[in-house]
Each structure stands twice: as structure tokens, then as C-alpha cells.
Structure 1
Amino acid sequence: MRQIILDTETTGLEWKKGNRVVEIGCVELLERRPSGRNFHRYLKPDCAFEAGAQEVTGLTLEFLADKPAFEEVAEEFLAYVDGAELIIHNAAFDLGFLDYELSRLGDRYGRMADRITVVDTLLLARERFPGQRNSLDALCKRLGVDNSHRQLHGALLDAQILADVYIALTSGQEEIGFAQADAGGSGPATVVAFAPVAGPRPRIGADAGEREAHLRRLATLRKKAGHALWDALEPVAEAEALEA
């Protein structure tokens, strides 16, 4: 499976007000592992930053003055994402801006949804952690993802962090084959397809010291509670010898 973690930085919060994309950052995952084939471009916006937006990104119009316009990288970007599953945090924001940039170039490129499918990690997080803050920083803290190097918002850096968040957020699902299928139009049904095990499963036994420690622990439980639930699974005689 080819997935692309995507993030953008913009001159403001609303494309409808004429704000533009100033940075695109993408991290490619192949079978949930970084491939090293990333996409990163700074873009000249041809408009001013809204108040506060420049401070969030640390970017300036002077820095972006010699960078390409979106139309100069559009075909390269679309070829990179074409056919992939995009992983985006608050996807409506980034896709709204990217569709706006494409629309400024006419009808020939269509919309992002014509080329890709999307997983919104904000929606995933809200399902898993309802009623809690689910910003990227909040998820990093909750899931144990290191974001100490994130002093400013940057598209490639945020995409790299989001890749770790996505893997942690969905850990234990894709690996064992969970999938969502339409059960005859009656709503989503969970399909579980466990991968076949290659060869016999390894058996790990306790050594003599571990066994003795285990039995002494059971003896302590019996003295305190009169019994141990483990007795239903193994003979008591061996433990009684330790109690004597």
C-alpha cells in the first residue's frame, strides 16, 4: 500500500479570502514504512500573509520571493500523489487550499479527489479520544511521539511527525488485517484476515528460578486469601512443598 502523509502551510486560514499555499510537505509510506522518497516545496504566494500566519510558520515574503509559483510545481506534485492514499490532519483545510490552487490553473487538473483517497487523522483521533483535544501537539503527547523539535509549523516537519502519530494511532489494525467492508448496504462490518503463521510458534518456558519464584508468590497469595486462582490451572502439591 502506498500512503502519503501530507501537510501544507498557507498565508492565512481561508482560501476563500484569496490566501495561498506557501509550503507543501509530503512523506511517502510503503506498507506503513517510510520510503525516504519525500516531496517538499516552498512556494511564492503573490499575496501578503494574514496577521499571525507569518509568526506561526516563520516564513516571510522575502524568503519566498525566489521560490516557484504553485503552477510551476503542479504537475510534479500531482504525479507524486497520483493514486496514493493521503493521510492528512484536518483534511478539509489542506484539500480546500490545494483544490483552490488547482482551480486557478483552469479545468485541466480537476480536483484532488479525482486522483487520491483520503484518511483524516483528526477524525480518527476524535473517534478514539472523544471529548479530548486532538491537535497534532496533543496527540504527540498522548501517543508518546517526540515533537520537541517542533518550534514552528513547517509542512515537511509536521508531515514527518504526523507519520509517527498515524502509525501509533492505527497500531494493531492494519498489521493484523482489520478492514472495513460494506455489509450489503447495512453499514460497515469489520473483516478480520489474520496472516498465516510461517512455521511452528516458538515456545518459551520458565527456568527453575522463575518457576520457584512463581510458586512462592502463589504460596503468599494462599496465606492471605486462602486460595489462588492459578490453582485451577495447575496442581497445588508442588507449591505446598514450598510452604512447609
Structure 2
Amino acid sequence: MSRQIVLDTETTGLSAENGDRIIELGCVELFNRKLTGNDLHIYFNPERESHEDALKVHGLTTDFLRDKPKFATLANDIVEYLRDAELIIHNAAFDVGFLNKEFELAGLQPLRSFVGDITDTLALAKTVYPGKRNSLDALCDRFGVDRSNRTFHGAKLDAQLLADVYINLTRGQDALLIDIAANEPVLGGAVVAVDLRSFVLPVLTAADYELAAHEELLLQLDKTSNGRTIFRQVAENAVA
């Protein structure tokens, strides 16, 4: 059983240490990699103006935020919602830094004292697609995630997009796990052989964007290997 929270924030600026504050928190819950609908979305009154550049990004005006709750009044509820979950965040250092500052101002412990792991999807994407653009917009385009209604950055919307991106980015990790009755694989600590011939595995056809990404990678390998890409040789021999 695995509870994950895909999280995003919007802020008045870029520096929590220089007084910028969180103005929006968006969280999407996944349980066993499935959306549960138990999400969290809150606007906050930061008690300060947003920087002009930040306002152009999120569009949340001071007038709109004036009657919203202050972060400290809901901090304990946020802690309980996030408690023990793995957090999925794009460019995690930014959001974690702001959350830690807000918790500090509310007299609470930092994020890592009450959550599980923190997975940075930006770092993850850089390992999967080195040298490529790995912004949330770029990843949405790469995986065919619809972001047509994203006029401004919004914490809840971006968390929803990131949840879809994360599932695509990490798909296949659990593809070989087979649900077997608890009394079949292990008896008294001993490993029991399972006849895999009894299982009918589905054949999943690659999507067009996956085939395009695969071909792009092969072209890069062709270039660096002077046309001696092993995968192409094996595929050609298999056809022959």
C-alpha cells in the first residue's frame, strides 16, 4: 500500500528567506498509483503583494487573496493531510523551502519530520531525458498530457498535470508485479516455485509518441556509434 501526494505551490516571489510567501497550495492524492479524489486546494492571504513577475505567472491578485485564510491558521491541518505520504514535487527544493518557512513561522517542524520520501520529478526527468527540456510544460507535451486550459500557473491544476506526468514518467516500474494469493509464493519463509505458463500476459502496443521517442533515441545512438546501434542490428536480424 502506497500513499503519494503530488504537490505544487504558487508564491508571491522566488525567495522565502527574503519574505515571499505561499499564496496557493494544490495537492492530488494517489493510492497505489491511482487517483483517489482526496485532494487539497487552498488559497492563502500572504499579507504582502506579489512581485510583478510572479503575478504574471499565477494571476492571483492581492484583492482576490485578501479574504483568504493565513497559512498559519491551517498549518496543522496541512501537516495531518501530508503526514507519512511520499511527496511528488517538480523542482522540489523550491516548494519544500517555502513550505518549511511557512511551517517555521507557524511554530511547526520542517516537512521531512512528518512526511515520507520526497521525489523530485525534475531530477527524475533529467535522468530519463538528459539534455532535454524537462519543464512541466515540456513533459506534458512529451507525454501527450492535455494542458490546453492552463492560461496561468495554478497549484491545483499543475498538481493534476504533474500526477499524470509522474504516472507516465514512472510507468513500467510495477508492470511485472503479479497478484498472487498470499499463501502461494511463500510458505513458512520458503520460496515456492510458480508456473508462469498459467499466466496470460497482455500485449501493450506502444503509442505514437513512445515510438517517436524511441526512434529519436536510436538516431542519437546511431550518431554516436557510427551506425552500429546494437538494437537495430538485433531487430533487423529478427525480421530476417
**Normalising by structure 1, what TM-score?**
0.73
List per-residue Cα deviations over 1:184-217 (Å, max 9, x = no partner): xxxxxxxxxxxx789823499xxxxxxxxxxxxx
Measure, in 2, the Cα distance between the counterparts of 1:33 and 1:105: 32
Q: Number of paired residues?
A: 189
**Considering only CA atoms, is the larger Rg found in Structure 1 or Structure 2?**
1
Shift of 1:48: 1.1
Structure 2 spans left out of the alignment, 5+ residues = 178-193, 203-235
Secondary structure of 2:9's aligned partner:
strand
Measure, in 2, the Cα distance between the counterparts of 1:203 and 1:87: 30
Root-mean-square deviation (CA, aligned residues, Å) is 2.3
Q: Residues 7 and 159 of structure 2 are in contact (CA less than 8 Å); yes or no, is this contact kept in structure 1?
A: yes
Shift of 1:115: 1.1
Secondary structure of 2:17's aligned partner:
helix
Measure, in 1, the Cα distance between the counterparts of 2:23 and 2:239: 67
Q: Residues 28 and 38 of structure 2 are in contact (CA less than 8 Å); yes or no, is this contact kept in structure 1?
A: yes
List per-residue Cα deviations over 1:69-99 (Å, max 9, x = no partner): 0011101111000000000000000000000
Aligned partner of 2:180 in structure 1 is none
1:98 maps onto 2:99 in alignment: yes
Measure, in 2, the Cα distance between the counterparts of 1:130 and 1:99: 30
Instruction: From the superposition, tell whether residues 2 and 199 of structure 1 become closer, same or farther in structure 2 (CA, over 3 Å).
Output: farther
Measure, in 2, the Cα distance between the counterparts of 1:94 and 1:40: 15
Instruction: From the superposition, tell whether residues 229 and 154 of structure 1 become closer, same or farther in structure 2 (CA, over 3 Å).
Output: closer
Shift of 1:144: 1.5
Measure, in 2, the Cα distance between the counterparts of 1:131 and 1:71: 40
Q: What is the 5 A alignment of 1:75-94? A: 75-94=76-95
Measure, in 2, the Cα distance between the counterparts of 1:118 and 1:32: 15
Q: Residues 75 and 106 of structure 2 are in contact (CA less than 8 Å); yes or no, is this contact kept in structure 1?
A: no
Measure, in 1, the Cα distance between the counterparts of 2:239 and 2:42: 65
Aligned partner of 1:52 in structure 2 is 53
Measure, in 2, the Cα distance between the counterparts of 1:55 and 1:36: 30
Aligned partner of 2:153 in structure 1 is 153
Secondary structure of 1:165's aligned partner:
helix
Structure 1 spans left out of the alignment, 5+ residues = 178-195, 205-227, 233-244
Instruction: From the superposition, tell whether residues 162 and 231 of structure 1 become closer, same or farther in structure 2 (CA, over 3 Å).
Output: closer
Quick one: which amino acid aligns to residue 151 of structure 2?
Q
Of 194, 198, 201, which aligns to 1:200? 198
